Amino acid sequence: MPIFHGSTEITDIKHGNTEINSVWHGVTQVWSRGYTLTLDYDTQYTEIAPQEEGLYYNTNYAGYSNSTAQPIDGSIDPSAFSKSPLVNSSQSTPSIDRLFTYERAGSGVTDTFVLILHLDRKVTNSGWTNMTIQRLYNGAPTGSVFTYARTNAAFLSGNTTSQWQWDIYYSIPIFPYTAEYDPFNNTAGTEYEIKFT
């Protein structure tokens, strides 16, 4: 949620030299600093049946994951996620432990292109409306803003984790996709600002 001084949006709040990450009015968060995601990228080529020419697929991962299930690392700062209420209030604050795109395409598979936001705690599917992703250049947002509505995602909640998944493939008129549909690029080390409103 943005806050304003008159008609000017406030985008940076500090106490002296210390950055403030969030502003609260009672128990309601009214402003938060964006998350900074440092991207990692991996691409893999797989032959399904080497004896049959043309049966292959490419798999691309871009973003951040601290799980060995994805072949990428990257980072996100801060990682704490307080937007969605915990299902079990005795748990500690959730963390974003994965935020990445997964794309698989080829002659031997069904084309897939999804964006995944994963938390390390069980939360409710509420508390925020949109997630935005925008590239940072020298610390300043630049280029297109990609907006993902929470209600457009498939929400999965396990015993101890939560996940939102957006199917980007079906929003693309022609496959393979072009960069205008992809929130991340393929350059490791690129930084992005992630915001939840």
The verdict on 4 and 61 lying in the same domain is no
The verdict on 27 and 55 lying in the same domain is no
The verdict on 58 and 97 lying in the same domain is yes
pLDDT, position 75: 96
Q: Is 55 helix (H, G, I), strand (E, B) or coil?
A: coil
The verdict on 3 and 56 lying in the same domain is no
Tens digits of per-residue pLDDT, 102-149?
A: 988 877 677 888 999 999 999 999 999 999 999 999 888 899 999 999
The verdict on 52 and 120 lying in the same domain is yes
Range from 25-34, 94-103, 165-174 that averages highest in pLDDT:
94-103
DSSP letters of 126-149?
-S-SEEEEEEEETTEEEEEEEEEE
The verdict on 104 and 122 lying in the same domain is yes
Q: Is 169 helix (H, G, I), strand (E, B) or coil?
A: helix
Tens digits of per-residue pLDDT, 136-190?
A: 998 888 999 999 999 999 999 998 999 999 998 755 555 555 556 789 988 999 9
CA-CA distance, 177 to 102, in Å (whole number)?
13
pLDDT band with cut points at 50, 70 and 90 for residue 38:
very high
For residue 178, give every residue at least 6 positions away whose Cβ sits within 8 Å of its Cβ, in sequence order, or none: none
What is the number of structural domains in the chain? 2
The verdict on 73 and 22 lying in the same domain is no
The verdict on 56 and 146 lying in the same domain is yes
Residue 192 lies in domain? 34-196
Q: Which among 197, 195, 161, 166 is positioned nearest to 182, based on CA atoms?
A: 166
Whole-structure pTM value: 0.81
The verdict on 99 and 25 lying in the same domain is no
Q: Give the CA-trace dihedral at 11, 17, 20, 21, to 10 degrees.
A: 80
Tens digits of per-residue pLDDT, 43-81?
A: 988 777 655 666 778 889 999 999 999 999 999 998 999
pLDDT, position 194: 95
Environment class of 131 (CB within 10 Å of its CB; exposed 0-12, middle 13-18, buried 19+): buried
CB 74 within 8 A of CB 65: yes
The verdict on 98 and 175 lying in the same domain is yes
The verdict on 56 and 21 lying in the same domain is no
The verdict on 77 and 107 lying in the same domain is yes
